[in-house]
Structure 1
Amino acid sequence: MILITLYIISFFINHYVSEMVINAIGGSFFMMVSVTYLFTYPNIGAGIFLFVSIYCFRQVYRANNRHEFQKVSKLKHDLSNVEDGEFKKYTVNK
């Protein structure tokens, strides 16, 4: 029930950290369920819960990559719009 509530809250929060935390918690939960089912019902454990947990962890990596791409594109945009005089703030003083 707590996991469902966290997922619903994450729909309204548009931040990469919240997306990563929610998916990491969900992936960990489904991984624990998967390990339990793997010992008793191997087909169900491997067929359903394992793939759901892998998908949750995949979403964590995708959120991180999306955030890093946004940071890089913002920095490229800032560097492309600077004039020669303003470029000095990005260089190292020697």
Structure 2
Amino acid sequence: MVKVVAVVVVVVVVVVVAAVVAVVVVVLVEMVVVVVAMVATADSREGQRGRKVSIMVSKVMIPQGDEEEENNYSPPSPLLNTFPPSFT
């Protein structure tokens, strides 16, 4: 009688573990499918609109003349004026 109960308990545990593993595998596969679908739709959208966006970005990002020098200006560092008294 004890052996029958032990066998039933082992069978139930194996079935429950197999069910949990199956659910985890199904969820992981669905996640992979969703990610692949998102990447595929993003690629197709980029293929349609990517050229216009890149042209707009290139027009905006090209500096015109002296604007580049003005935008890169930074005031002199205060550390440049911290010489020891012997050098002054």
TM category, shorter: 0.3 to 0.5
Give the TM-score normalised by structure 1: 0.44
The answer to which structure, 1 or 2, has the higher relative contact order (CA under 8 A, 6+ apart) is: 1
Structure that is richer in helix per residue: 1
Give the TM-score normalised by structure 2: 0.46
User: Of the two, which has the highest radius of gyration?
Assistant: 2
